[in-house]
Structure 1
Amino acid sequence: MNRVVLLLTLALLPAASAQTPNTLTLKHDEGTATVKKNPQRVVVMDEEALGWMFALGLGERVVGLGSSYLSPTDISGGKLKTSVLKEGFYARGKLNNPSFVGSWTAPSLETILALKPDLIVRLTWDGNQNYDRLSKIAPTVGYEEGGQGFWQKGLRDLARVFGKQVQAEQIIKQAADVNRGNARKLQAAGVFRKYDKVVVLAPFSGGNTWAYSSVRLIDDLRSLGFRDGLKVGSATLGIGAQVSDEALLGINKKTLVVLFPPGGQFNGADAFLKTPVGQRLQAQSVLYVPEAFSPYSGPLVSIRNSNEMTRLILDKVK
């Protein structure tokens, strides 16, 4: 135990931050970080950051992965099992046996220290902790999920670090082009005559229902041509708010209701559809289930959201 404490203490001493020809300085949502160009060992604290690495073709450089999706059965010897790496979103890129480094809110500083990363990337929100501790292990950059152009900014910053700016702009444009093309399909099918508005609901196990106002699927649906069908109150973490049954019962018939449940044990979609409110909204609802281990946003997610939602909506209005 004393050795662990000593190692952490040494690692958490302030590091030099002067920029050199081999580094660049990033201004991010948690401060400023001086980062070595083209880092070889990257720890990502969540699937959002992993998606950016995948989009740039850099999954093999991820030596540590943080996640709130993973359970002890997904881990063996401190690393993600090979079978897990072949599932859902993890199969979208090439991962080289990364170590599990804890969750967003409870990172394992000892594990991250032992990995000797060149860079740590994470999403963040007001009140999130551990930035100072992480940034003393390695340069750390954080991006607020509810911020304007959240994933585009994170992707572009990483692209600068790795010299992948052209690739980043190409995939940002691809995501936008896919949305535009799918918007034309919906328009041609007369979808907006039946549903001109949309609301994205996240039914949680336990009975709470949230409506998303930013980032989580709703931005792609707006890009497809829908207007907002529900006024969301003060957004928690900048992405949405819990809504009452009374508010849900006030949704009009021309509003498409997209049920977008959280993953794993938190998924309350089936239970919601059995409630009086769920029964009332069922005729105008579609259920959209993301891939296993999927982040909520990013270029790869945006493309999937657009294509899958377009397919579901077109089936709905046949």
Structure 2
Amino acid sequence: MKTLLLLSAALAASSVSAQTLTITHDEGRATVPTNPKRIVVMDEESLGWIAALGLSDRVVGLGSAYLTPSDVEGTAIKPNVLRDGFFGRAKLGNPAYVGDWQKPNLEVITSLRPDLIVRLTWDGNQNYDNLSKIAPTVGYKEGGAGFWQKGLRDLARVFGKQVQAEQVIKAVADTNRANGRKLLDAGIFRKYPKVIVVAPFAGGQNWVYTATRLIPDLRALGFKDGYSASKTTLGVGAQISDEALLGLDKQTLVVLFPPGGKYNGVDAFLKTPIGQRLSAQSVVYVPEDFSAYTGPLVSVRNSTDLTRIILEKMK
């Protein structure tokens, strides 16, 4: 009898283990149900990972800092918004709006009965404990090494999509390799061996991305860094002074990568004396509406569109 009880307990434990998976992520450890059916994504980055795995139809809640009151009605995101830009490429169903990283609507998230919450994070980000009380929550730091690849691979384990995840990662690398060859053959790296990514914000502040947000895609194409910041914010980048911008040499390609929506200050920057001085060695790369900053869907678009823009600049 004792042997039978021990065997029964072992089988029960094995069954529970098979139904859950422990994920070590950048905010701790979470025991996640395998193959979750109801997912809340707290930002566009995590949406991109879910979409790349072909699981957008399971997203029941969407967080976004881009959405404005005119984009939603209560908790419903207007259909035209869901068809636009990055959201359209993600092929969403009809997720509820759950606020943003600053003010997640915990009541709405609870009502959605998610079995998994995914989010981008950084040091000092709030609400992990509150979200974890609702459902298992995993978070990944944007400035971390292999940021989106780690998030994608972890989620692939949860959903049994490991092969697809590796195919997605390889497709990004293959795209960068092919586009890098186009730039090399066109002599781009002889003229501009180095690159800097500058984000002009409305109001006059300019930031340079040094660890993530477009710069890894440019490195993958074959460019070297044209600027290094002594100190960064959240491991992503740093504010750059006018003096530093004026000190850039002529062999540094300046990629102006404006933030989205009301924060976009690229037009004003180009009218400044600094913008005009750098114009001959600058290209403007505007992200699509509601775009994530990083991730497999974004990297493929970045690689292909940037290659085209740079080649056009050299004509």
Is TM more than 0.5 here? Answer: yes
In the alignment, the residues of structure 2 paired with residue 282 and residue 19 of structure 1 have an alpha-carbon distance, to the nearest angstrom, of 60
Instruction: Give the drift of 1:94.
Output: 2.4
Partner letter of residue 223 of structure 2?
F
Asked if 1:83 is matched to 2:101, the reply is no
Aligned twin of 1:72: 69
Instruction: Give the drift of 1:112.
Output: 0.4
In the alignment, the residues of structure 2 paired with residue 291 and residue 19 of structure 1 have an alpha-carbon distance, to the nearest angstrom, of 43
Instruction: Give the drift of 1:19.
Output: 5.9
What's the TM-score once normalised by structure 1's chain length? Answer: 0.93
1:110-149 aligned at under 5 Å gives the runs 110-149=107-146
Describe the superposition over 1:165-196 as per-residue Cα deviations: whole angstroms up to 9, x where unpaired.
11100010000010011111110001111111
Asked if 1:254 is matched to 2:251, the reply is yes
Given the alignment, which residue of 210, 214, 239 partners 1:217? 214
What are the ranges of 5 or more consecutive residues in structure 2 without an aligned counterpart? 1-14
Query: Contact 1:201–1:210 (CA<8 Å) still a contact in 2?
Result: yes
In the alignment, the residues of structure 2 paired with residue 171 and residue 250 of structure 1 have an alpha-carbon distance, to the nearest angstrom, of 39
Asked if 1:208 is matched to 2:192, the reply is no
In the alignment, the residues of structure 2 paired with residue 208 and residue 158 of structure 1 have an alpha-carbon distance, to the nearest angstrom, of 36
Describe the superposition over 1:85-131 as per-residue Cα deviations: whole angstroms up to 9, x where unpaired.
11000111321210000011210111101111000000100000000
Query: Contact 1:202–1:261 (CA<8 Å) still a contact in 2?
Result: yes
Asked if 1:173 is matched to 2:145, the reply is no
Instruction: Give the drift of 1:233.
Output: 2.5
Query: Contact 1:29–1:144 (CA<8 Å) still a contact in 2?
Result: yes
In the alignment, the residues of structure 2 paired with residue 125 and residue 28 of structure 1 have an alpha-carbon distance, to the nearest angstrom, of 12
Asked if 1:243 is matched to 2:240, the reply is yes
Instruction: Give the drift of 1:80.
Output: 0.9
In the alignment, the residues of structure 2 paired with residue 208 and residue 94 of structure 1 have an alpha-carbon distance, to the nearest angstrom, of 34
| Higher CA-based Rg | 2
In the alignment, the residues of structure 1 paired with residue 230 and residue 287 of structure 2 have an alpha-carbon distance, to the nearest angstrom, of 25
In the alignment, the residues of structure 1 paired with residue 182 and residue 175 of structure 2 have an alpha-carbon distance, to the nearest angstrom, of 11
Q: Counterpart of 1:33 in 2: which secondary structure?
A: strand
Asked if 1:30 is matched to 2:27, the reply is yes
Query: Contact 2:196–2:255 (CA<8 Å) still a contact in 1?
Result: yes
In the alignment, the residues of structure 2 paired with residue 59 and residue 307 of structure 1 have an alpha-carbon distance, to the nearest angstrom, of 24
1:254-273 aligned at under 5 Å gives the runs 254-273=251-270
In the alignment, the residues of structure 1 paired with residue 299 and residue 135 of structure 2 have an alpha-carbon distance, to the nearest angstrom, of 30
1:42-61 aligned at under 5 Å gives the runs 42-61=39-58
Q: Counterpart of 1:20 in 2: which secondary structure?
A: helix
Partner letter of residue 279 of structure 2?
Q
Query: Contact 2:56–2:90 (CA<8 Å) still a contact in 1?
Result: yes
Partner letter of residue 127 of structure 2?
N
- Structure 1 outlier segments of 4+, above 3 Å: none
Aligned twin of 1:4: none
Aligned twin of 2:59: 62
Query: Contact 1:19–1:34 (CA<8 Å) still a contact in 2?
Result: no
Query: Contact 2:47–2:90 (CA<8 Å) still a contact in 1?
Result: no
What's the TM-score once normalised by structure 2's chain length? Answer: 0.94
In the alignment, the residues of structure 1 paired with residue 218 and residue 229 of structure 2 have an alpha-carbon distance, to the nearest angstrom, of 16
Q: Counterpart of 2:17 in 1: which secondary structure?
A: coil
1:10-29 aligned at under 5 Å gives the runs 20-29=17-26
Question: What is the aligned residue count?
Answer: 301
Aligned twin of 1:8: none
Q: Counterpart of 1:184 in 2: which secondary structure?
A: helix
In the alignment, the residues of structure 1 paired with residue 82 and residue 277 of structure 2 have an alpha-carbon distance, to the nearest angstrom, of 40
